[in-house]
Amino acid sequence: MKKLLIILFICLTVLPMNLFAQATFWEENFATPTTEWTLDSNWSFYSGSLQLSWTPTVTNYILSAISPVISLPDNVGDLIVSQYIDSYSPVNEIMSIGIILDGVPQELWQYELLGGNWGVSGGEDVSISLSEFAGEDVQLQFRSYGASTYNFNYWYIYNAMITSFYDNDLAAIEVLGPPNAELNQPEMWQVIVRNMGMNEQNNFTVKLFQESDIELGNIDVSTTIQPLEIVAYNFFWTPEVLEDTEVYGEVILVDDEFESNNVTENFEITIFPGGERQYLLWDNDNGSHYIDPNSGTSKNSEDGIEEALAANGIGFQLVTELPKVMRNYNVVFICLGLYCVG
């Protein structure tokens, strides 16, 4: 069985430390629509992003998306926005990012669409310092204005994050391991920890828990983790119950100045019977579909594989994104579709 250990060392000699030793203070990934944002026409939450669309066409427009109020800490760092701007036939259209302070908009970044597309599809980061607004209550404002919305295609905002600076801050990033494990067999999961502060740390504890706060293991760490260093800590657990369950990791540091990043998100695990073969079906066809010649109905490209597996009594897991660790799968089916959907 292969063991995976991730240790990342980053050279800090080129750029000042205070540009990087930042923790996430506030974040919006737009995964689900929210009523906390105020959206003008043509703005919407769509497929995991905040999107400004060209349609319906609005001339001489000013259209904004405004966040709820955010109370910035005194040690606030940067606003980091992952976005992609898809231009079309620009005249004088502008995309801008700013804040609203005491009811007054302040533009902090802008892009003229005459320059063509901005960024890459799927998101590219732009970083904006918020240090001058430390301790203030602000709202983020994404705004576009110009001759006509017809002159661009879309503005996609995939993520917005505000960082802050801390001397002592360890973060539990994620649990890494197989999403399936065999009953009564030892298996390894890792808790990934990153030093987000500006001081090195060498006295802290890392733990792995099962749901309902059942502790599966703990590691007292005395080796040094440098600022920005990422280290994976190995935990072995032997599941004793057939079930769908979840695990999560935690890092505990005395005098940690930002505890909101100390616990990972839950990691889902399926415990399967001993000796049972594991099948994975990866739906990677970008929504490709076909017309069933027998029924004349429209079907997704993966439907045929699903039906064949089900007809033979074979259980499987259907995913749209490959797991990072796949060692416990015996067979992987990859559905690439029939044509390029676009």
| String of DSSP letters for 244-311 | EEEEEEEEE-TT-S-GGGSBPPPEEEEEE-TT---EEEEE-STT-EEE-TTT--EEETTHHHHHHHHH
Between CA 133 and CA 117 the distance in angstroms is: 30
Among 260, 254, 249, smallest CA distance to 172 is for: 249
Q: Count H helices, E strands: the chain?
A: 1, 26
Among 136, 130, 139, smallest CA distance to 69 is for: 139
Is 292 domain-assigned? yes
Is 341 domain-assigned? no
Q: Are 43 and 86 within one domain?
A: yes
Is 2 domain-assigned? no
Domain residues for the domain of 324 are: 279-335
Q: Are 184 and 237 within one domain?
A: yes
The domain that contains 42 carries what CATH number? 2.60.120.200
The string of DSSP codes covering 279-294 is EEEEE-STT-EEE-TT
Confidence at residue 340, expressed as pLDDT on a 0 to 100 scale: 62
Confidence at residue 4, expressed as pLDDT on a 0 to 100 scale: 32
Q: Are 125 and 180 within one domain?
A: no
Give pTM, 2 decimals.
Answer: 0.69
Q: Are 177 and 202 within one domain?
A: yes
- Give, for all 342 residues of the chain, the pLDDT tens digit: 323 332 232 223 333 444 446 788 999 999 888 899 999 999 999 989 999 999 999 999 999 999 999 999 999 999 999 999 999 999 999 999 999 999 999 999 999 999 999 999 999 999 999 999 999 999 999 999 999 999 999 999 999 999 998 999 999 999 999 999 999 999 999 999 999 998 999 999 999 999 999 999 999 999 999 998 999 999 999 999 999 999 999 999 999 999 989 999 999 999 999 999 999 999 988 778 888 888 888 888 899 899 999 999 999 999 988 999 999 999 999 998 776 655
Confidence at residue 15, expressed as pLDDT on a 0 to 100 scale: 36
Residues 6+ apart with CB under 8 A from 42: 52, 53, 54, 55, 56, 58, 61, 63, 149
Domain total of the chain: 3
Q: Are 69 and 146 within one domain?
A: yes
Confidence at residue 21, expressed as pLDDT on a 0 to 100 scale: 61
Residues 6+ apart with CB under 8 A from 174: 192, 249, 264, 265, 267
Q: Are 126 and 209 within one domain?
A: no
Check: CB of residue 139 under 8 Å from CB of residue 99.
yes
Is 117 domain-assigned? yes
